[in-house]
Structure 1
């Protein structure tokens, strides 16, 4: 017996692909949409655009400032209308522009770089806000103070919630920047105390 008898995976196909007539005889309904006369969508698709329904589409006038804007490499140009509320700037802008310029939207690297750029943007704003005298109010903004009045332990452990594992990491994920800053200050203080 040859190895071809033992496995369905062989280097060369052992038989030609079946013809359309053979497939039609063997599989009920095979090729039912090959003839355009049998396809219900063909008459609708072949009509002139908007002739029957009155629908129309005209490309709107392009918004000013489109040149140099970030866009996916799949698209030839920027859409006629785009947002300008948060222009890319600083280190986060460099990372995000690289994601748009280098990677397709179908690649994980594109989206991961956008997430990294977003995290860099958050860290940058936290530092600049602290330097301007308006640091984040951790106790107010994270909802830690409300934990003592809303029965946090009973709400998490005494129910059928499945996200309890995430709640152990949520404070770390939300406040990693502050934890890193506090850790850095502790390291600096300990080193100075050891030198004395």
Structure 2
């Protein structure tokens, strides 16, 4: 079980594993492992007085991987999941293992939905997001934007043509979507 002070016993003995797997046990000698002092269970030296650390109270709505029987003893509560992005993330944790690509793709999708929501919410403030100044486009001006890119074997040249699409694409799509919605509403009246 994870998060306990002692390691679980091996299902097979060291001799059985050594005969079955060539090279098994090459690092059995603690002197060969730099992490050995951290792996020892010595409560008299470390001051540990527990077998399993005391868990913080479970609010009941925290996401947990399918691989784990329960939450880790300590977990963050500063940014609770909310809205559509939270629903996407909860679905990823409830439905898919961390070993599945779908789990991570859903978490990324939840992050993108949260970012879009933050951009939309910024328009309700006195200082909405400004894609021109916040993407660093103006920082290129006056710093030799063309000559600094060629003849220097820069790795970012391979995807430089994608940068305007990635930066401006969501804004252009948002504007086109807003104009389309306004036109449809105007037709109704």
Q: How does the TM-score come out when normalised to structure 1?
A: 0.66
In structure 2, the CA distance between the partners of 1:49 and 1:184, relative to structure 1 (3 Å rule), is closer
Q: Contact 1:126 / 1:136 at 8 angstroms: preserved in 2?
A: yes
1:64 corresponds to: 57
2:139 corresponds to: 146
Secondary structure, aligned partner of 2:153: coil
| Distance in 2, Cα, partners of 1:171 & 1:177 | 10
Q: Contact 1:92 / 1:117 at 8 angstroms: preserved in 2?
A: yes
Q: Is 2:101 the partner of 1:108? A: yes
Q: How does the TM-score come out when normalised to structure 2?
A: 0.68
CA shift, 1:87, in A, is 1.1
Greater helix proportion? 1
| Distance in 1, Cα, partners of 2:62 & 2:168 | 32
For the pair shown, the structure with the greater C-alpha radius of gyration is 1
1:54 to 45, 59, 64: 45
The structure with higher relative contact order (CA 8 Å, sep 6+) is 2
CA RMSD of aligned residues (A): 3.1
Count of residues in correspondence between the two structures: 154
Gaps of 5+ in 1: 1-23, 25-29, 34-38
1:125 to 89, 107, 118: 118
| More displaced 10-residue stretch of structure 1: 175-184 or 105-114 | 175-184
| More displaced 10-residue stretch of structure 1: 125-134 or 96-105 | 125-134
